[in-house]
Chains A and B, each alone.
Chain A
């Protein structure tokens, strides 16, 4: 039986999803800081390597959690050139000619197709290049289709949903952009095998093809660009199941999976007309996944078009080898020496009871790359050398090579986040999972998660800087400086060493503050601070009345510096009104005091706090005098 594609139609009565999902990652080239500018893999290969492996690896970890019998996770990327009958079989089975006809009558650029692709060569002798991705040792894309709980639905047809276990690498919604990047015509076929679900006990395999083009008009009808290859129709997508799915998979040259065998659980993807170069994918996998490869958590096999194996081997790469050496120090398998360092970073203040935020291993090469001067890579790339730290967490993918210093000596390192903060760090990651964001963003990054990311990044940079300082040669003697006067004055500035006559700093505080406070018991094992603040006009203010703004804050002290805020309950005097940001505005009259009372929330008695009480003349209205 000949199946074909069903194109969704734009329906103003229903929310629509454009098929041009690749736009999500457009203009977001993968980061290649410092030495990684040399020989950087393409954006498409990097996206494919990061997103596809991440989704499969998350499914593998989920299977492992289900029992110790789970097989080793493996993922194979097999590049194939199909000729003659093999090519015709796929072209016919997937009805690719219908795409060619449609593409010929629409603006290819607008829907995201390149100027040339396989659609103009379907009936020529040109080979059809496909990429077959086969995963083993995962759960497969399980879940009942009708309840929209199918992981196949989430992976191929939804966007923005995250239906994954805590600690997982990514969200299904954006993973599909990785698949799309592997097909010039943006067509993906997924054949998956999973354990039966009690809500759908008879279904163990599904096959679905999805094509993601941009919105377009075709034969007078507007389409959002999503086409599906299924047993259903537009608006009623029904993946092929069980034997029908097997039969189509077989027609596409995919190995049949059996739910009876644990090793057969998993998904096979077929990406049509792939632009990815095998050696490019090898580099992308090595750069993003070396921690998991080193730990033998996953096996990645890449098979070139000619059938030769191209296993990623990060230890072959002299740059990655240095990061792996730092990793070995971080995990404790290597002892730090004179040119390396290991540190357990202090835990974020909000993580009471946590011993460490994670482990950091650092290394340097003082006779080599730590003082690298080459500015041009082998392919003419501009290299701006940096100290770099590979940031990792649970899934052992390199989230980012964090730039931690821009002057020599350069150092390299690996940071492994403590599992206790894994979910918070994941929350801070953007859709490409390539950074830990330090600014809270409503609906995306909570202030708590942003604070943890800020703490981690700050501690990493501090530790790197301290290590670099230790490595630096001694400061040159003063006689080596060429501008003696500049040098002398800068030394005075840097030391804060003023010379000459004393110059008293005038007392100009317009508002006098009287403060009375004490820590008190709040509950059996908690304390709180309670106190009063009285504001009045000081002798330095010349008038009798003034509008003022006041603020009372209380923050924990961590390492002798202020940290998290402790919420205060503040009772203002009559006439003082809160502006909603913790400030109070009101009128001060000479001879009277504005008395505030405050009380903090209960907190752990191990902490000291910093009470800061401000008062200032209001910028907006001042009456009867001004000290400025």
Chain B
């Protein structure tokens, strides 16, 4: 299967600009987050909060100069006044549901903008960047900072973006685990489950291709007796292997449920990025995966979900714990 997806803006003459920010990157301490990508950091909260955050507009001064010239030239050739366009940086925290306007630089003032621009202002860290348990997203835009006369196929409303990209920093401390819930007799009755059912993932209204935080999370039920045993012997090889298997079962359920979604056909990776499926795709893609690879795995979900599950299994790393119980048992 081959798929190409394009977002079509109702403007002409601005195509060149759409990718103008594609060469920028976010610096989060020692980590570099290229435009349009994300990283997951494993940091203690105090370390997360101590890290500087900045945007590197270009790798060197000469390239930065070219970028400025390119942006201003394209805006002029699109017949837009350059003082009507600004470079804007906004940081958002989906957990805190807030957005901080960090930078607004009209194009005529771009020459004064440092090539590497700190996002921490005058020492006061924005709240959106102070989220060690849930991470943040930084968005860069070229957008209209004032309204222009209404012309067809030309941007004119204040706030209309001409180019944009984002950089995401996720954290292993969030968005939190999904703790198993004891599967009791009452719950079996409620969901019409037979007596020997060991695990059941109740999605309810949760749609795994929709943003996770906008929905009630699924409930992962595990037989109360087995859960108690797993708990009591949590470090024993069998318990470890079963814990990993449960996690893998969860991934399997998410992938099959997503694959059955009639909406999936029309969605791009960016659409599902903040969903459960997006998380599973990133997991299955592995560290350092490109946007193209993530998109390719979304296509795999549609046509061959078993392959996505198999890739995810690699990163859950069941093999060592399986081997341990097969060789030695719990003795």
Q: Could you tell me which A residues sit within 8 Å of B by CB distance? A: 384, 405-407, 461-462, 465-466, 468-469, 475, 478, 481-487, 489-505, 507-513, 515, 517-521, 524-525, 527, 529, 538, 553-555, 557, 560-562, 605-617
The smallest C-beta distance from B130 to any residue of chain A, in angstroms, reads 15
Question: Do B214 and A465 touch (CB < 8 A)?
Answer: yes
Q: Does B116 contact A (CB under 8 A)?
A: no
The smallest C-beta distance from B86 to any residue of chain A, in angstroms, reads 20
Q: Which of A405, A481, A492, A609 has the most CB of B within 10 A?
A: A492
Residues of B close to A489: CB separation below 8 A = 243-244, 247, 316
Docked Cα-Cα span, A42 to B283, in Å, equals 52
Residues of B close to A465: CB separation below 8 A = 214-216
Residues of A close to B215: CB separation below 8 A = 461-462, 465
Question: Do A495 and B170 touch (CB < 8 A)?
Answer: yes
A-B contact list, 27 entries, CB within 8 Å: A407-B219, A465-B215, A466-B97, A468-B216, A469-B213, A491-B173, A493-B279, A494-B175, A496-B281, A496-B283, A497-B172, A497-B282, A497-B283, A502-B289, A503-B314, A509-B2, A513-B4, A519-B8, A519-B9, A519-B12, A520-B153, A529-B8, A561-B267, A605-B152, A608-B8, A612-B268, A613-B3
Given known A462-B214, A468-B216, contact A493–B283 (CB-CB < 8 A) = yes
Given known A491-B177, A498-B285, contact A611–B170 (CB-CB < 8 A) = no
- Digit string of B1-26 for contact with A (CB within 8 Å is 1, else 0)? 11111111111100000000000000
Known pairs A468-B216, A520-B12 / 7 extra A-B pairs, C-beta < 8 Å:
A482-B231, A486-B177, A486-B180, A490-B177, A491-B173, A502-B287, A609-B7
Within 8 A of A (CB), among B284-305: 284-289, 293, 296-297, 303
Our pick among B7, B190, B287, B293 for the contact of A384 (Cβ within 8 Å) is B190
- CB closest chain-A residue, reference B179: A481
Question: How many residues of B are counted as interface, with CB atoms below 8 angstroms from the partner's CB atoms?
Answer: 80
The smallest C-beta distance from B238 to any residue of chain A, in angstroms, reads 12
Question: Do A512 and B172 touch (CB < 8 A)?
Answer: no
Our pick among B7, B240, B279, B284 for the contact of A610 (Cβ within 8 Å) is B7
Given known A489-B243, A521-B153, contact A511–B170 (CB-CB < 8 A) = no
Kindly list the 8 A-B residue pairs having the minimum CB-CB distance in the complex, ordered from nearest.
Answer: A496-B282, A497-B40, A496-B279, A486-B243, A505-B293, A511-B2, A489-B247, A503-B286
- CB closest chain-B residue, reference A528: B10
- CB closest chain-B residue, reference A603: B10
Residues of B close to A554: CB separation below 8 A = 8
Docked Cα-Cα span, A496 to B231, in Å, equals 25
Residues of A close to B286: CB separation below 8 A = 498, 500-503
Question: Do B282 and A608 touch (CB < 8 A)?
Answer: no
Docked Cα-Cα span, A483 to B287, in Å, equals 25
Q: Does B123 contact A (CB under 8 A)?
A: no
Q: Does B324 contact A (CB under 8 A)?
A: no
Q: Does B246 contact A (CB under 8 A)?
A: yes
Residues of A close to B216: CB separation below 8 A = 405-407, 465, 468
Question: Do A499 and B287 touch (CB < 8 A)?
Answer: yes
Chain A interface SS verdict (over half) = mixed
The smallest C-beta distance from B298 to any residue of chain A, in angstroms, reads 11
Residues of B close to A500: CB separation below 8 A = 286-287, 315, 317
The smallest C-beta distance from A146 to any residue of chain B, in angstroms, reads 51
Q: Does B178 contact A (CB under 8 A)?
A: yes
Docked Cα-Cα span, A498 to B212, in Å, equals 19
The smallest C-beta distance from B20 to any residue of chain A, in angstroms, reads 18
Q: Which of A491, A498, A515 has the most CB of B within 10 A?
A: A498
Question: Do A499 and B244 touch (CB < 8 A)?
Answer: no
Our pick among B8, B176, B271 for the contact of A494 (Cβ within 8 Å) is B176
Q: Does B36 contact A (CB under 8 A)?
A: no
Question: Do B287 and A605 touch (CB < 8 A)?
Answer: no
Given known A462-B214, A557-B7, A611-B8, contact A505–B97 (CB-CB < 8 A) = no
The smallest C-beta distance from A391 to any residue of chain B, in angstroms, reads 16
The smallest C-beta distance from B11 to any residue of chain A, in angstroms, reads 7
The smallest C-beta distance from A570 to any residue of chain B, in angstroms, reads 15
Docked Cα-Cα span, A178 to B48, in Å, equals 64
The smallest C-beta distance from A405 to any residue of chain B, in angstroms, reads 5
Our pick among B190, B239, B251 for the contact of A493 (Cβ within 8 Å) is B251
Q: Does B266 contact A (CB under 8 A)?
A: yes
Residues of B close to A518: CB separation below 8 A = 12
Residues of B close to A475: CB separation below 8 A = 133, 176
Question: Do A485 and B7 touch (CB < 8 A)?
Answer: no
Docked Cα-Cα span, A469 to B176, in Å, equals 14
Our pick among B4, B153, B177, B282 for the contact of A487 (Cβ within 8 Å) is B177
Given known A491-B176, A492-B315, A498-B284, contact A527–B219 (CB-CB < 8 A) = no
Question: Do B266 and A553 touch (CB < 8 A)?
Answer: yes
Q: Does B66 contact A (CB under 8 A)?
A: no
Within 8 A of A (CB), among B66-114: 97
Question: Do B293 and A504 touch (CB < 8 A)?
Answer: yes
Residues of A close to B285: CB separation below 8 A = 498, 503, 505
Docked Cα-Cα span, A517 to B9, in Å, equals 11
Residues of B close to A524: CB separation below 8 A = 152
Within 8 A of A (CB), among B257-285: 263, 265-268, 270-271, 276, 278-285
Question: Do B243 and A496 touch (CB < 8 A)?
Answer: no
Within 8 A of A (CB), among B173-189: 173-180
Q: Does B47 contact A (CB under 8 A)?
A: no
Q: Does B230 contact A (CB under 8 A)?
A: yes
Residues of A close to B133: CB separation below 8 A = 475
The smallest C-beta distance from B13 to any residue of chain A, in angstroms, reads 10
Question: Do B2 and A494 touch (CB < 8 A)?
Answer: no
Given known A502-B288, A521-B152, A527-B153, contact A494–B178 (CB-CB < 8 A) = yes
Question: Do B3 and A612 touch (CB < 8 A)?
Answer: yes
Question: Do B2 and A517 touch (CB < 8 A)?
Answer: no
Question: Do B282 and A461 touch (CB < 8 A)?
Answer: no
Residues of A close to B60: CB separation below 8 A = none
Residues of B close to A553: CB separation below 8 A = 266
Question: Do A505 and B296 touch (CB < 8 A)?
Answer: yes
Question: Do A496 and B40 touch (CB < 8 A)?
Answer: yes
- CB closest chain-A residue, reference B8: A609
Docked Cα-Cα span, A310 to B133, in Å, equals 56
Given known A486-B243, A490-B177, A500-B286, contact A495–B40 (CB-CB < 8 A) = yes
The smallest C-beta distance from B268 to any residue of chain A, in angstroms, reads 7
Question: Do A611 and B6 touch (CB < 8 A)?
Answer: yes
Docked Cα-Cα span, A465 to B303, in Å, equals 31
- CB closest chain-B residue, reference A502: B288
